[in-house]
């Protein structure tokens, strides 16, 4: 089973031309054509925290649906984080992942069922402080450890990790693998690998890349990052392998 995962900080749909254009973001998502997408900065920071991507546009013009979190009626996600999944993917459960924060950051989790397999996805937007990022990643890993089902997991988002070395991302110990597909920020002349994808040991990487198109360069200050992953044919969760 192969799936494409993507993460994209959409900068509240404000592009490099300083214009807010939600439809331009949706067009970039169509170019990426992933199965599961983690979005950051998808909600406004003040007021009702409403989504900058109209849910009606997602429902009418894309193959995706937003994972419901039921936190704020006008928001799509939590602290700007949202997950989009293709409509033929079954949602088993979803939850907010509490993080230690000094500024509006957050993480969310969804358990999905694809082809009879349960998989887990976390979307996140980490702090500017390296120490706080470490604390937040420890909170995410502790949350995953408390989940009732063991299953292949993908954690992705804007990590705000500028260093070439792993830095706070060393919290992902083996057999976890952290992908840094390329420079994704700033979009016009990217110099930093801020957007990362981490995967548990069950996955095999088919392809990882930064999506760089003329439209993506204009749509946000980040470029989307994607990875095509595969579960081996003989993979099965522990409870199934003992049967």
pLDDT of the chain along its 243 residues, tens only? 999 999 999 999 999 999 999 999 999 999 999 999 999 999 876 656 778 998 888 989 999 999 998 666 667 878 889 999 999 999 999 999 989 876 667 899 999 999 899 999 999 999 998 899 999 999 999 999 999 889 999 999 999 998 766 789 999 999 999 999 999 999 999 999 999 999 999 999 999 999 999 999 999 999 999 999 999 877 766 443 332
* Residue 37: burial class (beta carbons within 10 Å; 0-12, 13-18, 19+): buried
Task: Output the pTM of the full model.
Answer: 0.93
Output the pLDDT for position 104: 67
Output the pLDDT for position 101: 74
Output the pLDDT for position 242: 30
Q: Which residues contact 139 (CB under 8 A, 6 or more apart)?
A: 97, 98, 99, 100, 107
Cβ–Cβ under 8 Å, residues 78 and 71: yes
Q: Are strands 204-210 and 36-40 parallel, antiparallel or unpaired?
A: unpaired
Cα-Cα end-to-end distance for the chain: 22
41-45 contact pairs (CB < 8 A, 24+): 41/9, 41/10, 41/11, 41/12, 41/80, 41/125, 42/10, 42/12, 42/76, 42/77, 42/80, 42/81, 42/82, 43/12, 43/72, 43/75, 43/76, 43/77, 43/79, 43/80, 43/82, 44/12, 45/80, 45/104
Cβ–Cβ under 8 Å, residues 237 and 118: yes
Output the pLDDT for position 65: 94
Query: In DSSP terms, which residues pair with 196 in a beta bridge?
Result: 157
The CA distance from 8 to 211, in Å, is: 10
Output the pLDDT for position 5: 98
Output the pLDDT for position 106: 86
Output the pLDDT for position 69: 85
At the top level of CATH, the class of 2-241 is alpha beta
Distances (CA, A) of 161 to 76, 169, 183, 184, 200: 25, 8, 11, 12, 20
Cβ–Cβ under 8 Å, residues 51 and 12: no
Output the pLDDT for position 237: 63
């Amino acid at each position: 089973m192969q799936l494409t995962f993507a993460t994209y900080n959409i900068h509240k749909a404000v592009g490099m031309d300083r214009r807010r254009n939600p439809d331009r973001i949706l067009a970039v998502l169509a170019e990426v054509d992933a199965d599961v997408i983690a979005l950051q900065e998808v909600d406004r920071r003040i007021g009702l925290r409403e989504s900058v991507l109209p849910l009606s546009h997602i429902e009418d013009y894309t193959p995706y649906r937003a994972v419901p979190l039921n936190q704020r009626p006008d928001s799509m996600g939590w602290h700007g984080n949202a997950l989009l999944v293709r409509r033929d993917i079954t949602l088993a459960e979803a939850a907010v992942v509490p993080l230690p924060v000094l500024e509006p950051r957050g993480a969310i989790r969804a358990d999905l069922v694809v082809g009879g397999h349960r998989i887990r996805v976390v979307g996140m937007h980490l702090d500017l402080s390296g120490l706080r990022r470490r604390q937040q990643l420890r909170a995410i890993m502790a949350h995953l450890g408390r989940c009732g089902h063991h299953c292949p997991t993908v954690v992705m988002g804007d990590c705000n990790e500028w260093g070439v070395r792993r830095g706070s991302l060393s919290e992902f110990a083996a057999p976890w693998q952290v992908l840094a597909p390329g420079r994704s920020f700033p979009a016009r002349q990217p110099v930093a690998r801020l957007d990362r994808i981490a995967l548990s040991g069950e996955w095999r990487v088919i392809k990882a890349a930064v999506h760089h198109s003329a439209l993506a360069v204009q749509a946000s200050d980040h470029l989307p990052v994607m990875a095509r992953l595969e579960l081996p044919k003989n993979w099965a969760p522990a409870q199934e392998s003992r049967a």
